[in-house]
Chain A
Amino acid sequence: MPDLIEKKKTEAVAVSAPEKPEKARSLGSDAWQELRRNPVFLLSAALILLLIVITIAPGLFTSVDPRAGDLRNHYLSKPSYGHLFQDDWFGYDGQGRSIYARVIYGARASIIVGTCVTAAVTVFGGLLGMLAGYFGGWVDTLLSRITDIFFGIPLLLGALVVLNAFTARTVWSVVFALVALGWTQMARVMRGSVITVKQADYVTAARALGAGTPRILFKHILPNAVAPVIVVATIALGGYIATEATLSFLGIGLQDPTISWGIDINSAQNVIRTAPHVLFFPAGMLSLTVLAFIMLGDAVRDALDPKLR
């Protein structure tokens, strides 16, 4: 048991600085070693990299304007699968717009919403959770009750109410709505994690050495408590992308000048029986994107959780 604790400590301490070479491999570098050999991780990382390139430079993949509709391009005409990367590759939608171009440009909204919401809820929820877990007492009671209040509202319904307050909805209003209601999960995970960590001997040692509260919180507790939060955040990212698409599908998320897979799925539902490809491509891209992030999260969890080794 003592050497187990010893091992855990060296592992844990090094999470904050995985780049430093160490004799004993740290949890961070251990995880990286494992990830590098995991085909699931490599596949999902490659997919996500591709999506990020598409997000930054959609012009590299198509030269067609995704908003330009030409009604001579009829949605009932079948996609021309031979015309790789051309505007009629995936066919046209009800307004004669190139589905391929819309699928490419639609990535931006999803990726921005997914990453921004995840970053914001991790920082905001993580901070609140850390304070509640570390200080305990009335701070914990107050913060936990506030968390409970927000946790009691179903994400989709709450987001509907918040988004209704915006007359012109952009990507940022969707991000705001999801952050306002989504931070509770991170706060709960972080609080639980901090409560376990703060009893560790190295925290007492740090305090005995005269370290101040901020130093203990950010240098000693945070690096050791952050692993479960990272895992939950990675998996949640895919979920936020799916939620954005669902909100846009309901007509309460993004609005038309913005291109979103959710909006395209919504407009495709009227022609689903006559022209299923209009639905298939945005839906497929959306599912593939969510899949990539969830696979990444799965791989990261397996690598960070020593119990599964």
Chain B
Amino acid sequence: MFERRKAEGKPALVAYLTAGDPSPAATAGLVAALERGGADLIELGVPFSDPVADGPVIQRGADRALKAGMTLSRVLDVAKEVRKNSQIPMLLFSYLNPMLRYGFAKLAKDAKAAGIDGVLMTDASVEEAQTYVDAMRAEGLDTVFLAAPTSTERRLELVAKYSSGFVYLVSRTGVTGEQESLSDPIGPLVASMRKYTQLPLAVGFGISKHEQFKSVGSMADGVVVGSALVRVVEQHGASPNLEAELEAFTRRLVDGGA
């Protein structure tokens, strides 16, 4: 998927959605809208009550999803629903505790059966991840880890070692959320990470506009957009045009134009 876009001279769009926002029933349709708009990979966010790594937009998305009754097992139902009509790669994106409660082995099995391709855990370091990685890999699921601007060379090497599928580079210190301008240079982190892995590198945190998508995309294989999409869901959540709005926003992100 990253390779195909690369051949086209474009970065892949990795699109994050909080599953269950605004309702569990809406999510499969929103994933389809993202795909029509040009998304190449979907991160299905599992809502969590205490999302320490997230800024206000995704916090609110998680709140709405939990109030609407979303759970990890229902996220897997959504994935199944998506798989009926689409082969788009899907990554389960979750804080650790809901996965721990579900049980790693059972989760790996159920996620695989639901058509999930990989898993990303936001709040566990590679040092604590061995049993998780073993369980996911046993079912053939990729394990994506994050690297950050604060990561030391030793840590980048560890992240490379435990990651499969791709590596997610966090473009700045901070929580998730859109930024007017991307102040921190991403080049050095991409170059450092490249020393340790041949996996595709996707860059995220703060990206919400086509220009940012293009400039970040020129340095990496993929660009992750999350809060900006969740904001569209928030703004149009009650509207019958929600899917059309999300699709249009995604298309503008990838292709530019009004």
Bind each other:
no
